[in-house]
Amino acid sequence: MKLSEVLQGLKFEVLQGSTGISFHDIRNDSRKVQPGDLFFCISGAVSDGHKYVQDVAEKGAAVIVVEKPVAVPDTVTVIRVENTRYAMGMISSAFYGKPSEKLKVIGLTGTKGKTTTTYMIREMLERSGIKTGLIGTIEIMDGKQRIPANNTTPESMLLHKYLRDMVDNGCQAVVMEVSSQGLMLDRVAGVAFDYGIFTNLSKDHIGPNEHASFEEYRDWKAKLFTLCKTGIFNVDDANAGYMMEHATCEKVTYGEQADADYRAQDVELYREKGVLGIQYTLCGKLEAKIVVDLPGEFSVHNSLAAIAVADLLQVSVADIQNILKEVKVRGRVEMIPISDAFTLMIDYAHNAMALESLLTALRAYNPKRLIPLFGCGGNRSRDRRFEMGEVSGTMADFTIITSDNPRDEEPLAIMDDIETGMKKTTGAYVKIADRKEAIRYAILHAKEGDVVVLAGKGHEDYQEIHGVKHHMDERELICEILEEEDVTDICGYNNRYFA
């Protein structure tokens, strides 16, 4: 490809060489450079790509994109830009044929609800005949395969490659989670967003290597609404006004407020055969009865955001209603229907804020007992352990403390820290280090009317111990336990467990 073609619309300076040359591929990892490649010198938090220019020149790189002058042979073309991360996104988009312009691109940002809402939207669009890719915390779905995700928002070079694959695989739309880090680090540079969704905002991702303050976190989130054509805002969130004030796009709203374009009223919680959900009357631009088999007030807002997008893309009301009744998201208040007598679910809540939000939502269903099972990751802040223990001890009826990605620490030491938080409360608890045995205890001791939530692992299917990820999927563990306890029908009900 001609260098001049991918530089169109980008401010740059030619330090040496010519924009008339051609290159073969794009790289940001010096170890992968091949003769004829274009290499981006990225100034990262750990390493500076400018240090490797001699190496990539020796490997035959044709073009190097830099932020500062470098000394390389005059056979290499050197392009200077103000920000190589931004340039990488723009050049990657051009290199892959600007794939986002060939798709309806829906981006979601906010603290909570992004993952669940992306799956809701994708299912609605797929059901209506719009083949839709997905990019998010759990996985990438490119129209042919499912690829485990490493970051919520991939680096721009990889992101545009995924978008290209989606176009080639026949996708007409893509729904993606857009993290504050992704916006701050220009991972979405070059992406043409049709719709941006604001879910909600609370303090998160604030600290070393993330954001210096809540205000900085908020402002990077707000950037999405300067990049999209239409913004869809949760007006029930206290930060919606700020987001809308700083947006440059058209505005659509959702929520429970009377002036929302897509409004939920007469919201009710329901519980039926171990399944927890919500139902409400949809008003405003659409009118319908909505039932969602996912619990909690947050399911109202997640479903409203999905409804707004689906309606704007002309999905029928019937399809919207059907998919919301059936939608399931791996590891996000995911119901595991092993009994009609009690509720068992898996959720990704792995810090105090998320656990408190989850337990608050579940408490509203008036369970006989609310029983969370969780651990805390090793090589992470000990404060998280104390906080989660205190939250659970305060809000739950009974807590099962177990192991969760101990990494290089001893599981029992981590559990002792959680117990320290628990002891600040009067909450009852038990400690069982082996997670499978902890789950077995939870199932065999559950009583009719209980709500049991396996928290922390969510979509993860591994346990990380001393740098090695060992396969461990809680769904498989549950099936193994039921088989070992002679339960042949995992959706059935066996009275001997609930004497």
Q: Which fold has domain 3-95?
A: 3.40.1390
State the pLDDT confidence band at 206, using cuts at 50, 70 and 90: low
Best CA proximity match to 217, nearest among 232, 234, 230, 200 = 200
Q: Stretch 181-201: mean pLDDT, rounded?
A: 96
Q: Stretch 479-485: mean pLDDT, rounded?
A: 92
Q: Give me the CATH code for the 334-497 domain, please.
A: 3.90.190.20
Tens of pLDDT along 84-97? 999 999 999 999 99
State the pLDDT confidence band at 495, using cuts at 50, 70 and 90: very low
State the pLDDT confidence band at 211, using cuts at 50, 70 and 90: low
> How many Å apart are CA 458 and CA 371, to the nearest integer?
16
What pLDDT does residue 204 have?
60
Domain with CATH 3.40.1390.10 in the chain: 3-95
What pLDDT does residue 210 have?
64
Tens of pLDDT along 121-157? 999 999 899 999 999 999 999 999 999 998 889 999 9
Degrees to nearest 5, angle at CA 45 with 62 and 199:
105
Tokens 């909505």 -> residue: 290
> How many Å apart are CA 37 and CA 56, to the nearest integer?
9
> If 0-12 CB within 10 Å is exposed, 13-18 middle and 19+ buried, where does residue 135 land?
buried
Portion of the chain with pLDDT greater than 90, in percent:
87
Q: How are strands ordered across the β-sheet holding 26-27?
A: 13-16, 77-80, 63-66, 38-40, 26-27
Q: How far is CA 439 from CA 6, 339, 374, 479, in A?
A: 54, 15, 10, 11
Best CA proximity match to 79, nearest among 104, 103, 58, 61 = 61
Tokens 């559950």 -> residue: 446
What pLDDT does residue 463 have?
95
Q: Which residues pair with 265 in a beta bridge?
A: 281
Q: How many residues does the chain have?
A: 499
| Token output for 252 | 């659509």
Domain with CATH 3.90.190.20 in the chain: 334-497
Q: DSSP letter string over 125-168?
A: HHHTT--EEEESSSEEE-SS-EEE-SSSS--HHHHHHHHHHHHH
- Residue 489 pLDDT exceeds 50: no
**Segment holding 193, helix H or strand E:** strand 193-198
Q: How far is CA 76 from CA 7, 14, 48, 104, 218, in A?
A: 16, 11, 19, 38, 41
Q: Stretch 362-388: mean pLDDT, rounded?
A: 96
Tens of pLDDT along 3-27? 999 999 999 999 999 999 999 999 9
Do the Cβ atoms of 85 and 42 come closer than 8 Å? yes
CATH architecture of 99-326: 3-Layer(aba) Sandwich (3.40)
> How many Å apart are CA 464 and CA 431, to the nearest integer?
20
Tens of pLDDT along 438-478? 999 999 999 999 999 999 999 999 999 998 999 999 999 99
Question: b/e per residue, 166-186, with b = 16+ CB within 10 A?
Answer: bbeeebbbbbbbbbbbbbbbb
